[in-house]
Structures are given as C-alpha cells and as structure tokens.
A = this chain, B = another copy of it.
Amino acid sequence: MSRPITSSPRRLTIRDVAKAAGVSLTTVSHALNDRGVVDPVTRARVKQVAADLGYRPNVRAQRLRSGSANSIALVSSMPFAVSGGVSRLGFMMEVAGIAAEAAMRRGLALVFVPPLEDAQAFLEGLDIDGAILLEPMTHDPNVRLLQERGVALVSIGRQGGGADSLPFVDLQSTATAHLLLNHLWEQGRRRIALVQSSAVRDSYASHKKAYENFATAHAMPLRYMQVEESLGEAGGQEACAKLLARYPDIDALCVPVDAFAVGALRAVQQAGLRVPQDVMIATRYDGLRARTAEPSLTAVDLHLEQVATLAVELLFEHLSGDKSRMSVLGPKPELRARASTQRDA
C-alpha cells in the first residue's frame, strides 16, 4: 500500500498524469479506466506514471459516470423511544455493525439513517442505490419514498400487508413467539399476558396471532394490551400496571419490545410483586436492556449477525439485477433463559 506522498496540497489531476506520461488526456482516461483502445505498453506506462505521482481519480466524477452511488442505507422506521434509549445500543446498531462489514466486502458504503422524526426529508436527499429497512410497517412512508426514487429495497422482517411486500429476510417471528410462550408455560405459568406495540408490523402481528392460538390450545384466558411505540419504557410500564390491576391473576408477561419489557419490570416491582416469583417477564431482543436489567430478562437470540449478512446479500443480488429470491429464511431463533423466568427462584 506504500505510495509516494506529494508535498503539494494541490490535488493531482488527470492533466498532471498526461503531462508526465507525454500522452493525451483521453489516453490517460482510457488507460486508467481500462476502456477504449490503448496500446498495452502505453496503458501499463500510464498506470505506472499515475502510481508514481500518487494520482487518485475523482471519486465523485466516477460515481456520476457509472450511474451508481455504491452506497446503501440502513433505515429504521421505529420511533426513537423504542430503538434508541439511554444506551442507544439497540437492535439497529447491532445490525448496522455487521451490515457495514458485509457491505464493505462488496465495495458498498453503508449509510446509517437514525430513527428520527425528520429522517424522511433526509432520505430524500440521500444518494444511495439500495436500502435495508428494519421491520417496516405495512404502510411505511420510507418504503414508498424510496421505491418512487427507484432505490432497491430489502427488509429485515417481512413487510406485512400482502402481495407487494419487499424482498425480505424472514425473522421467523412465529417461532420466536412460540419459544417465549412455551418457555413460560414450561416454567409453570398459566396466566400469561401479552403486551405488544400497536404499530402495524409483521412481527407484532405474528406474535399476537401466536399468542391467541397458544391461549386457545391451552385454554388460557386472553390478557392483552397494546402500547404506542413512541411512549417507550414509560408506555410499557403504564400498560403493564393497568393489566396487573385489572387481572391480578397474571403470572407472566410476554413483552416482545425490550423497551416495554423494562417498563414491565418496573410496573411489577411498583405493584409490590417480585420478578420472577410472582410474575415472570420475557422479551424478544437479547440486547443491552435485557442483559443489564435487574433481574436480567429472558430473551431470544435472533442471530442478528447472520440476519444482517443475509440482508446485505439479498440486497446485493437485487442491485445486481438478480431478483430470483424474494425472501430468505433467517437463522433459527434461540431462547436465552435468564433470571426473570427462573423457576423456584
């Protein structure tokens, strides 16, 4: 990787290379870009002269010529209250780290679009070829916006709502819901409540449906409450407090959104009950919130490394014009049992 360093702050141009090599601008351009008809010896000499001078091509001009931005974006449609939080080390950042690596190995830059209110205006001005959307809603404004611009899209988690869903990595949300519910049942719980986001996302719908089927199969009464995502931890706390007051027989809370689960923990403790002895709590994303809660929360390892890599691969296929795969099965979710659901604690 060593190369001569120019002492001048002026940026070298193709003119400098042409002058030093004693050839025309066109010859330099063709030689460096392996285009046109250039004698192989001349081509090699021009490349050597360019290397000796320390010439670097103008990246932006190249981008415009190639018609490609060589950039993809990672976009969340979750409100900040859920996807951000005190430590900001959530689901999205875990995916971002891996996706950036996978993208880079294919020569693509990953632009990280944080979950903020004004993300939409920002997205409009973003020069990208493709984007990965995290669990988009059924009618996600970001999806429409990017589709109109001709940006290739894939989603992590199916975009619900029917036939025209995006190519996606299947997060296996029903399997995740069953893992949590079966675990709570095996721990002896018979009055399991579900506290879920009111947003229209496929994973939420899958969880709810799995819960209803589970309740029917086990003749368990339904204890269900919806929370608005933008309310974050406080919203989860309030909803759980209400549920516990209304149904004092609840012995377990299945709270897939981790921000809500932290709120659930507070609600149980403020009601003078103990976790896990009186009420067990389980959540979905095995992140910092679940691991550092007191007691630590049982969660599900979604194998986000693999998920993120699969998403970049799928997007890369679609960007390259290969649209044969409209979905990819994600890795099998695995339960991570922790103190919050420990029997005989």
Contact = CB atoms under 8 A, between A and B. Distances in A.
B292 A111 contact: no
Number of copies: 2
A333 interface: no
**Main SS of chain A's interface residues?**
mixed
A286 B301 CA distance: 23
A125 B107 contact: yes
Interface stretch (A95-103, A160-168, A196-204): A95-103
Contact of A60 (B64, B96, B107, B288): B64
A92 to B, nearest CB: 8
A33 to B, nearest CB: 13
A126 B112 contact: no
A104 B11 CA distance: 29
Interface string A107-127: 101111110101110101111
A343 interface: no
Contact of A292 (B63, B93, B292): B292
A1 B123 CA distance: 13
A230 interface: no
A302 to B, nearest CB: 13
Interface residues of A, number: 56
Contacts of A323: none
A305 interface: yes
Interface stretch (A141-149, A185-193, A266-274): A141-149
A96 B109 CA distance: 14
Contacts of A126: 59, 109
Contacts of A5: 144, 148
Given A11-B149, A59-B126, 9 more contacts: A54-B148, A56-B149, A69-B127, A88-B94, A88-B98, A88-B305, A100-B114, A107-B125, A111-B111
Interface of A: 1, 5-6, 9, 11, 54, 56, 59-61, 63-64, 69-71, 73, 84, 87-89, 92-94, 96-98, 100-101, 104-105, 107, 109-114, 116, 118-120, 122, 124-127, 141, 144, 148-150, 287-288, 291-292, 305
